[in-house]
Amino acid sequence: HSLLFISAAGLFFAIINLFMIKNLFPEKLNEKKRLDAQNDEKPKKFLFSGFVVSIFIFTSLYYFSYYFTDNAFYERLGSQYANTKELAAFIGNFLSVLAISALGFKLFFTSILMKKVGVKGASITTPVIVSLGGLSVLGLYYFNSPLSYVFWAMVLTKLLERLFTESIYRPVFYTYFQALDEKKRTRIQNFTESVVGRIAGGIAGIALLILNKSLNFTAVELCIALVIISGLWVLTGLITSKKYEKSIAKALEKKGIAQKKIEIKTHEEVEYLIEKIQEEKEEISDFCKELLKKLEPELMQAHAQIFIGHENPSIRSLAYHWYEKIGTKNDFHILYELLNKEKNSKALSVLLK
């Protein structure tokens, strides 16, 4: 009860602080209103476009998944540990393992997975993992396995949910906003995090209150709901990633690099994309690299030797990637000689493959 009073006092002073900021810096608010007035597009129009709505649903299902997993996890904990000291000790150990695992996960796994599966694969990775965790709990329970097995399956599900959320879901979540217009990006992102997320969390909380208090749901029943939520999350991830690709293509078209104009069938088109990698912003450069990685073998063969000695490490990396796809044993000595010459760490990692 004392902690609740402290929390309430903290919120009270935070509200006072907000009023003070508003009164001390009114010009900042006026500047925001001026910038908003310059934007001809009405908020409703871009807040409720197809891609943005997909992001809203994708985010909402994450919150539902998080709260249902968390609730099932703590229900199992309460059943496993009746002693409060043992319960507190387990939670402390769990959080320690989670922190260490998350650090290693981000350092050694996140970037590799993101490169392998791309935005589409990463969009469904976390919900698939959560769904598999929920299914493992259900499978162990309904096949009459010892309750300790069910408990550890739930613990593992919670651990993996946290690991993949922080390492995979969040990078994908923020990547989606990069496909939006710069003038709207921050506004939509803030709206998603501060409004959509909070509403979804509130609805999930009400749903859990009804399920737990009125229907007496246990962790097992919650896992059934969790599997359904995760399935919807997977479907939404696929839809959102597809809309993301279309939004990126639309953004590129505005900058004069329409995807429909680049079919990657001629040497001139390859050289055009190579130029854009060196000239344009990061998102366009990355898109051009992805296009060049999918060249026909004949074009790869023709350009690999040309660009293998390019001064730009990103373009050298592309050439190394092409050799990985179409190279033969006769090309091995060429790549081997480059090992001592390549100084760029990213290009060297591609070469070592």
More confident residue, 176 or 298: 176
pLDDT, the chain, mean? 79
More confident residue, 47 or 277: 277
Residue 256 vs residues 79, 240, 248, 275, 314: alpha-carbon distances, Å? 61, 24, 12, 13, 22
Q: Poorest-confidence range of 154-168, 221-235, 285-299?
A: 285-299
The pLDDT, as a whole number, for residue 254 is: 59
pTM for this structure?
Answer: 0.64
Residue type, 314: S
262: pLDDT strictly greater than 70: no
Average pLDDT score over residue span 122-138: 94
pLDDT band at 328 (very low <50, low <70, confident <90, very high): low
Residue type, 242: K
Query: pLDDT tens, 5-63?
Result: 787 788 888 888 888 887 887 766 665 555 555 554 454 555 567 889 999 999 999 99
